[in-house]
Amino acid sequence: MAKEPVRVLVTGAAGQIGYALVPMIARGVMLGADQPVILHMLDIPPAAEALNGVKMELVDAAFPLLKGCVVATTDVVEACTGVNIAVMVGGFPRKEGMERKDVMSKNVSIYKSQASALEQHAAPNCKVLVVANPANTNALILKEFAPSIPAKNITCLTRLDHNRALGQISEKLNVQVSDVKNVIIWGNHSSTQYPDVNHATVKTPSAEKPVRELVKDDAWLNGEFITTVQQRGAAIIKARKLSSALSAASAACDHIRDWVLGTPEGTWVSMGVYSDGLYNAPAGVIYSFPVTCRNGEWTIVQGLVIDEFSRKKLDLTGAELTEEKELAYSCLS
């Protein structure tokens, strides 16, 4: 019997990530090749015409999984009504001459009002993924202003950073990226994030071997590898004159797919989730941890040994998140 369609909201759908993401969702990349979807797309009034163009293209692509009428709207209530999954890509970008506080203030007000709309109109147990930057703090504001949505349902995207780390290791060792697993992104989706390979392994014909044993270059792993992953977003902007879009859209699909359908046995992924202080991360911020997913719920991988080098890096990115939280709260008052 055909499955019931799942309603998926994409905000900022007329933007460049939205344009890459909606066809992936409609092709089953996010929820599976047998899962029908109803797409809800939200953008702001100046982007209404472009949004309608995206809707026209979705119709023209004749995706078999796309059910019902695509909702393309500038009305946040219409967009949020009945959605099971919300991918929050819309936000206010930093413009020339703007201070960090100005950008934070715009995004705090967007995420505060969209939190209320989701809380009141989304389907019960709606899962939320925040992509728009500052992703961790936007997700925290959304959580604070949607108190009836369980905190465990509100996450932010660090899977792109996770995938970037896998990609760097696979290039260094000249192995398939699918044979590399269990890297970790700790903390903020920013240049203070800590890409950690201390527990990562590579599948070889004889056994799974630690990345450190195979790379045999701790100076590279503790230096250039980390900065390359931390700075990858900036490198893409420099090269494309636009921020990453296809890789961000693909990572958003990976994040939701693993959350809903489960992570493979023995594999963990990185997700920005509400911290209650595990691994001595600051409590009360959205912090990226290694997680496994089963039955639609994530669980932080516990008991990993954190060495002194890593400890400093976990603390540094945690301190930045605490600072961002304070800045966000100062914008509310």
Ligand X SMILES: NC(=O)c1ccc[n+]([C@@H]2O[C@H](COP(=O)([O-])OP(=O)(O)OC[C@H]3O[C@@H](n4cnc5c(N)ncnc54)[C@H](O)[C@@H]3O)[C@@H](O)[C@H]2O)c1
> Does the protein bind ligand X through residue 166 (CB under 6 A)?
no
Report how far residue 200's alpha carbon sits from residue 189's, in angstroms, rounded to the nearest whole number: 20
Residue 73 CB contacts under 8 Å (≥ 6 apart), including other chains: 40, 41, 42, 51, 79
**Residues 188-207 as x/- pattern, contact with ligand X by CB under 6 A:** -x------------------
Q: Which residue has the tokens 């636009």?
A: 242
Give the CA radius of gyration of the chain: 19
Token representation of residue 47: 């982007």
CB 36 within 8 A of CB 5: yes
Q: What is the DSSP code string of 87-113?
A: EE---PPP-TT--HHHHHHHHHHHHHH
Task: Choose which of 137, 244, 275, 288 interacts with ligand X (CB under 6 A).
Answer: 244
- Beta strands 154-156 and 127-130: pairing type? parallel
* 133 marked ligand binding residue: yes
> Does the protein bind ligand X through residue 229 (CB under 6 A)?
no
Report how far residue 142's alpha carbon sits from residue 147's, in angstroms, rounded to the nearest whole number: 9
195 versus 233: smaller Cβ distance to ligand LMR: 233
> Does the protein bind ligand X through residue 48 (CB under 6 A)?
no
Closest CA to 255 of 267, 270, 237, 239: 270
The entry of ligand X, ligand LMR, none near residue 236 (CB within 5 to 8 angstroms by kind) is ligand LMR
> Does the protein bind ligand X through residue 248 (CB under 6 A)?
yes
The entry of ligand X, ligand LMR, none near residue 43 (CB within 5 to 8 angstroms by kind) is ligand X
User: Residue 189 catalytic?
Assistant: yes
Task: Choose which of 7, 8, 9, 12 interacts with ligand X (CB under 6 A).
Answer: 12
Whether the ω angle into residue 134 lies within 30 degrees of 0, i.e. cis, is yes
What type of residue is 96? E
Binding site for ligand LMR (CB under 6 A): 133, 160, 233, 236, 243-244
3-state secondary structure of 48: helix
Site residues for ligand X, 125-144, by CB under 6 A, read 131-133, 135
Return the range that interacts with ligand X (CB under 6 A); candidates 36-44, 180-188, 195-203, 315-323.
36-44
Task: Choose which of 39, 40, 43, 166 interacts with ligand X (CB under 6 A).
Answer: 43
Report how far residue 299's alpha carbon sits from residue 290's, in angstroms, rounded to the nearest whole number: 8
* 62 marked ligand binding residue: no
Instruction: Please report how close the Cβ of residue 285 comes to ligand X at its closest, in angstroms.
Output: 15
Q: Which of 40, 121, 162, 189 is catalytic?
A: 189
Residues forming the site for ligand X (CB under 6 A): 11-12, 14-18, 42-44, 47, 89-93, 110, 131-133, 135, 157, 160, 189, 243-245, 248
Annotated binding site for substrate: 94, 100, 133, 164
Annotated binding site for NAD(+): 12-18, 43, 107, 131-133
By annotation, the residues acting in catalysis are 189
